[in-house]
């Protein structure tokens, strides 16, 4: 059995989230197993009762809002104002390039292996050797 290591706290906890969490009563404790860099690590998670600490930047408002999520945009409508934005702006939209690349690879595969395909374009059954 490995020796227990002392708990590690964030010394740069400028919002005092850990100290507030440790003041609340503990509901239960769970063990979590994770693979970190190919090794199995065990962690202990304390599940505390109470209300989590909110940063002033993320304060809750009093307004009711509605969301409309579509594949490319998100609309937020509230009692006071509304906003329309791009859904997941950090993602690259590379579907078209990927589709073109896959089609080119399929054409190359068909040209390199003509004996592996039926006249209607489907892959023939049985043993095949791919190039």
Digit-coded pLDDT (tens) for 82-118:
999 988 877 777 888 899 999 999 999 999 999 999 9
Residue 24 CB burial class (10 angstroms; 0-12, 13-18, ≥19): middle
- Look at residue 21 in the predicted model and tell me its pLDDT: 81
Is 115 in a helix, a strand, or coil? helix
- pTM of the predicted protein model: 0.38
Are residue 47 and residue 8 in the same domain, yes or no? Answer: yes
Q: For the chain, what is the domain count?
A: 3
Per the CB < 8 A criterion, the answer to whether 25 and 49 are in contact is: yes
Q: What is the pLDDT of residues 35-59, one digit of tens each?
A: 999 999 999 888 888 888 877 777 7
CA angle 99, 101, 116 (to 5 degrees): 100
Residue 130 belongs to a domain: no
Residue 70's domain comprises: 62-91
Per the CB < 8 A criterion, the answer to whether 81 and 65 are in contact is: no
């Amino acid at each position: 059995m490995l020796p227990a290591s002392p708990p590690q706290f964030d010394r740069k906890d400028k919002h005092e989230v850990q100290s507030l969490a440790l003041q609340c009563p503990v509901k239960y404790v769970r063990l979590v197993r994770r693979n970190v860099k190919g090794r199995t690590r065990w962690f202990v998670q304390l599940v505390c009762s109470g209300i989590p600490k909110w940063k002033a930047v993320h304060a809750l408002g009093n307004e009711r809002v509605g969301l409309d999520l579509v594949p490319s945009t998100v609309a937020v409508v509230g009692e006071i104002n509304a906003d329309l934005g791009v859904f997941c702006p950090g993602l690259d939209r590379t579907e078209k390039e990927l589709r073109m690349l896959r089609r080119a690879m399929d054409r190359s595969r068909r040209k390199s292996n003509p004996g592996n395909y039926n006249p209607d374009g489907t892959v023939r059954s049985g043993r095949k050797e791919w190039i």
